[in-house]
Structure formats: C-alpha cells, structure tokens
Amino acid sequence: MKAQDCLQILREIKDVAFATVDEQGQPQVRIIDVMLVENGKLYFCTARGKDFYRQLEANGQVAVCGMNTKYQMVRLSGKAHRLTGQKAWIDRIFEQNPSMNAVYPGDSRYVLEPFCVDNGQAEFFDLGTEPINRACFSLTEDKVRGKGFRITDACVGCGKCRQKCPQQCIEQGAPFRIRQENCLHCGLCAEVCPVRAVVKRGDQL
C-alpha cells in the first residue's frame, strides 16, 4: 500500500466527501467527483460560481474522505491549488469522465476550473479485516505525523491496557508496545493506565 493506492481507492469510489472552511471559519462539506488520479496527485473541478470554488481560492485547505464496499476508508488532507491551462485540463477531465457531458454540455464545461491536491497526508483504514488495519502516507517526501497513542517508559507492566484493548493490538514488553497498524485510536488504553504511561502521539515518525 502506497499513497498512490489510497488515491486510486478514492478515484474508484469517485463520489467522495470534500470539506473546506468558509469565510466565517465554519466547516463546509459536499460530495465531489474525483476526476483523475496519477503520479501521487488527485484532480477535481468545480464551477466558478460555487461557494466551493470561492473557498478553494481563499484558503485551499481540503479534507477528503470516502469508503468503498469493502469497508476500506481513505482520508486525505492537504492543500488544493487551481491549475493553469484551464481548457486543456477540463477537456482531459471530460475525456476521462464522459458522464460530465450531460451535466455541462458543449462549451458550458468551461465554467469549470481544474484543481489538484499534490501535497498533504493520506490515511488508509480497513475495517473489513480482523484486526483492523491502518497506515498513513505523505503525498510528498515529508514525514508522516504520528497519530493515535504510544506507551512511554513510565509503563509499569501491569497489563491493564492490553486486557482492555478492543483490537488486542498491545504487546507485552518493557514498556508495552502498541501495534500502530492495528490500533483504533480509541484511547481506552490511556483511560485505564494507572500511571498515565499512555500518551497521544504527536512526534515525527
């Protein structure tokens, strides 16, 4: 599994949730078609008259989420930017997505502007396996920021976290260790730890 694989899942789902922030700082979400995916980049388009377009131009920060029929979820967060060569990109998008011709027939297609997300972080979360499986990827060379929880050297080895873990992904040791690829990020281990040895991850992997 790589970042490109995550983007390809979003392309196969196609109709995914795109979130932005409006002028008042309020979250806004809508369903948008993923039009193209290639070389670690995700492409989509929207009309210039839409609030979505205005929010993209003003800020560009987006969060994208979709789940397929296998209960595999992909989340993507990053910054979208408008592409130059608008007509060429829109023509290519319509070539790859012919159903768009019924929505924007003829030259009306050129009210659309093409955008690309080519940076940020993708997260894969597979609920269709036991235990669950997850992984994080960067679309660029940047390091992935750690999520979830980790067990520090303050661990006294009591085993309460391991006993309570819903996915049984905590291994005995000194200190105990969380298998990050199977962790739900639920935080139950942190709640039951008597010495507060379980802390949120925020360091660089």
Residue 204's pLDDT is 39
The pLDDT mean for the chain works out to: 93
What local confidence, expressed as pLDDT, does residue 83 receive? 97
Token reading at 181 = 């690829």
Instruction: With CA atoms as reference, report the closest residue to 122 among 97, 148, 142.
Output: 142
Q: What is the pLDDT of residue 202?
A: 73
Residue type at position 147: K
Cα separation, 65 vs 124, in Å, equals: 10
Residue 12, Cα to own-chain centre: how many angstroms? 15
* Mean pLDDT per 10-residue interval, the chain, length 205 residues: 90 96 93 94 96 94 96 95 97 96 96 95 93 90 81 96 96 95 95 96 57
**Helix ranges restricted to H, 116-181:** 160-164
Of 138, 119, 135, the C-alpha closest to 61 is: 119
The closest alpha carbon to 117, from 198, 177, 56, 175, belongs to: 56
